[in-house]
Amino acid sequence: MIKTELLEILRCPNCVREKDGNLTLYKDTWLICSDCNRKYPIVDDIPVMLIDEGDKWLNTSQESLPIPPPSK
């Protein structure tokens, strides 16, 4: 589970330089950027904040995201 304090400081690595890049926690297993809609999985309680990882899930709807996220 992601702590509230961590969620408050995490930002989308793709958007943080030009926009807010705020992330929303989805079902305790995904972080979704409010600006670009990239989705970052949380694997073993660790957010995988790589732009390439967010790109993989860009066109997947929020409801279609696998719960739990794949570990690879």
Q: How many residues in total does the chain contain?
A: 72
The yes-or-no verdict on residue 64 having pLDDT over 90 is yes
The domain locations on the chain are 4-59
Least confident of 17-21, 33-37, 68-72: 68-72
Residue 22 CB neighbour total at 10 angstroms: 17
* pTM as predicted: 0.90
Instruction: Give pLDDT, residue 63.
Output: 94
4-59 belongs to CATH 2.20.25: yes
Dihedral sign of CA atoms 39, 28, 20, 5 in order: negative
The tokens of 20 are what? 């807010």
SS3 13: coil
SS3 40: strand
For 15-65, where are the alpha helices, taking DSSP H only?
51-56
